[in-house]
Structures are given as structure tokens and as C-alpha cells.
Amino acid sequence: MSASTAPPPPKFSGASATPTKFPSSKPTLLLPSKNCKSLTRCELKSLDNNKWTVDCVSGTGSDPIHIILKPPATTPLGMTSLDSAVKTSKRVCLFYCAEMKALAERIAAESDAIELRGITWRTFEDGFPNLFISNAHGIRGQHVAFLASFSSPGVIFEQLSVIYALPKLFVSSFTLVLPFFPTGTSERMEEEGDVATAFTLARILSNIPISKGGPTSLVIFDIHALQERFYFGDNILPCFESAIPLLLKRLQQLPDSDNISIAFPDDGAWKRFHKQLQHFPTIICAKVREGDQRIVRLKEGEPNGRHVVIVDDLVQSGGTLIECQKVLAKHGASKISAYVTHGIFPNRSWERFDHDKGGNPENGLSYFWITDSCPQTVKEVKNRAPFEVLSLAAVIATALQI
């Protein structure tokens, strides 16, 4: 049957006899009439995609009866529809805090289904936020997201005020994108009196009002410890994404991609990322105590002659990375680079990292890759070797379609 021909009509069958076909150029069936005193001859007269027409004539020679049958609803073979072949994208209204404007614009550029919306960020004379969500009525029934940056305690309250307000505007769903979970390293207590602020922030986010579509979805990249998932309550759906695929793609583009080894500065980083990087030779460093000092030692692996990439979830002062670099250079690494998802670098600590200027691993790094999860750092290191920014825009655009 050709692609444009509808499926064949169902076969007719009598109550007590098998139909006998009459010779004809069109399908013809012989059906027994009532009490089998006469036979009814049915012939298919026309066939198209919308209906079948069947003429039935009894053996007594009466006028034909026209029967119109509707074929079963099927898609003709070989034909495709753009609407059915391509999944309709979920349209999202994306709000953002002021410091995330550049990343928000990159996210919107990734998909026509994402529309940027504005918030007026002002303060009263006493310093408290004076906020306004533009066109609040226009987002009713829409899928809404907010791109946040909790880069300092001073900006968290004003953003939380917006985050708590948006789901209550009768939106279909609400997604909070918080690329960097800033209190992630304060996830445990080592002695009585320690306050696990990771749990505190998780509780605050867990109490975001439920939208018309249900609990808030929370997107976080490379949280410090995966067990922090259990700090969140049932009124929020944490979605833990990773930026490691961006690193893998970048490593494949290097001219010495077949000579890469991955180094982890401690066992924690190995536990966190080794499964995503298992196809590379692995090197593990460890911090050991010598007297009053903690120094970095090579625990396992062979860096000699390799381009070694140190991988961790975040960097602050950078002291551990620098000590790890020195150990790897001492053991013969030909090049040393580093990657962290979150480049925090308080007090401009990024200035401690120099470029190797053509292959001197003792003096610096070939590359230092970070993402744009911390926008202030991105501004400071732009066009400064060895730093290179891998944008989260495409990954976030995809996550907003979940």
C-alpha cells in the first residue's frame, strides 16, 4: 500500500458461511442475507484517506445500499508531521538577578522558547529592598524560572523575596536555577556548637511556596556533597546537574587530548567526580599532617610526561590547588591545568595563578577552566591567561525543559 492510501476496510463475514469472492476489479464479498434465502453482494466503490464507500446489492436486484465506513485513525506510512516529529518546547519566562544578566542573555540565546522578563531592583532609604515584578498579570498560567546568585549574604534576602513571590502569581510551574549553592562546604558538624549552614539554606529553599503546578524545581550544579540532597524537604525538587560534560568536550579539543590524566586534590574530589572521568588515567593527591603543617602528597598515579588536569568542585583561596600543582610538577608532569565548576576566589585570590607561558608547569598552569556560575569572577578574569570560561547557558536551557 502506498504512503497516501488508507488502511484496508475490515473484512465482512456472515453468521454461518464463509464469504465467497466474485470476480471483480474491486474487492467484492458475498454475504448471506436473513435466513440465508438470498445473498448480498458488497463491492468497494471508493477509497480515500477519510472514508470508504461500499455498495451492497441483494440477490433480488433491489437498489444498491451505499454504506460509508470511516477507516481507523492511523498515520499513513512514510509521512511525518512536524508537529508530531518535533516535541513542542515548553515556553519559559526567565527572570534573573542583576548580576546574572549576562548569563541570562546567553541562556535565552540558546532557545526561542525562553523569554527574558525584568525585575526592578531598588532599595528604600533605610537600605531594605524595594522590588517590583514587571507585568505580573502577564505570567499567569506561564512556566516561570528565576536565575539566582547568592554570591554574598547581602544579596540573598532581596532575591529570596522575589523567589517567594513568583510562585504565588498563579504560574503553571516555578523553577529556581541556583548554579552555585554557596553554603555547600558547611554541610557537617565536627564538634558540638558547629552550625551546618548548608542545612539552614536548604530549609529556607524548601519553604518556597508551591505554585499552581506543584513544588518548585531547584537546579544546582556540582553541589559540594551529594548527600546534601537529603537536607531539602518534600516541597522542593532538587535537580543536581554537573558541568563536567563541558570539561570533557573542551579536553577533546586539545591537541594533546590523548595525553591527558586527571588529578584529584583529595579523596573527596575523587569520590565526587571519578565516575564521570573514569576513561582517563587517574592521579590522587592527599593532604597529610607533618608537625603543625598540612602538606599535599602524591597518593597514587603517575604524572610523568602527562598533561595533568586537576579537577575539583570549587576553589576559594587556591592554596590546595597550588600545592597540588607543585607536587605534580615535581613528579614530571609535562603540563598542568585545572578545572573547577565554581571559581569563588574571594579577595581576588585568582591573582595567585599564573600562566605557564608555553610549558613550564613549575611556574603556572596551561589552562584554568571555570564556569560562569560566579559572575563576579567571570568579569575579573576575562581575557586573562590561564583562565577560560565554560558557559552553563546551554545546560541550563536544557534543564528548563524538564
Residue 15, CA distances (Å) to 29, 117, 235, 337 in order = 14, 68, 62, 82
In a domain, 285, yes or no: yes
In a domain, 49, yes or no: no
Residues 248 and 151 both lie in one domain: no
Note the pLDDT tens digit of each residue in 118-147. Answer: 999 999 999 999 999 999 999 999 999 999
Q: How confident is the model at residue 58 (pLDDT cuts 50, 70, 90)?
A: low
pLDDT at 4 over 80: no
Averaged pLDDT score across all residues of the chain:
85
Residue 98, CA distances (Å) to 123, 141, 365, 381 in order = 13, 25, 32, 19
Strand-pair category, 236-241 with 216-221: parallel
Residues 232 and 124 both lie in one domain: yes
Among 179, 206, 241, where does a domain finish? 241
Q: How confident is the model at residue 211 (pLDDT cuts 50, 70, 90)?
A: very high
Mean pLDDT along residues 239-250: 97
Give the E-state strand segments of 125-275 in sequence order.
129-133, 143-147, 173-177, 216-221, 236-241, 260-264
Residue 177: predicted pLDDT? 98
In a domain, 133, yes or no: yes
Residues 230 and 282 both lie in one domain: no
Contact 149/99 with Cβ under 8 angstroms?
Answer: yes
In a domain, 264, yes or no: yes
Order the strands of the 65-69 sheet from edge to edge: 28-32, 39-47, 52-58, 65-69
pLDDT at 10 over 60: no
Residue 15: predicted pLDDT? 43
Better-predicted residue by pLDDT, 76 or 323: 323
Residue 44: predicted pLDDT? 60
In a domain, 142, yes or no: yes
- Number of domains into which the chain is organized: 2
Contact 124/114 with Cβ under 8 angstroms?
Answer: no
**Phi, psi values for residue 387, rounded to 5°:** -80, 140
In a domain, 391, yes or no: no
What amino acid is encoded at 156 in this protein?
A: I
pLDDT at 2 over 80: no
Residue span of the structural domain in which 249 resides:
244-371
Among 241, 264, 298, where does a domain finish? 241
Residue 163: predicted pLDDT? 98
Residue 85: predicted pLDDT? 35
pLDDT at 397 over 60: yes
Residues 117 and 234 both lie in one domain: yes
> Which helix (DSSP H) or strand (DSSP E) does residue 52 occupy?
strand 52-58
Residues 218 and 135 both lie in one domain: yes
CATH assignment at residue 276: 3.40.50.2020
Minimum mean pLDDT range among 158-162, 167-171, 185-189, 197-201: 185-189
Among 241, 263, 292, where does a domain finish? 241
Note the pLDDT tens digit of each residue in 275-330. Answer: 999 999 999 999 887 776 778 999 999 999 999 999 999 999 999 999 999 999 99
pLDDT at 239 over 80: yes
Residues 254 and 206 both lie in one domain: no
Residues 129 and 224 both lie in one domain: yes
Residues 156 and 263 both lie in one domain: no
pLDDT at 333 over 70: yes
Residues 112 and 127 both lie in one domain: yes
In a domain, 389, yes or no: no
Residues 291 and 153 both lie in one domain: no
Residues 97 and 234 both lie in one domain: yes
In a domain, 228, yes or no: yes
pLDDT at 51 over 80: no
Residues 99 and 168 both lie in one domain: yes
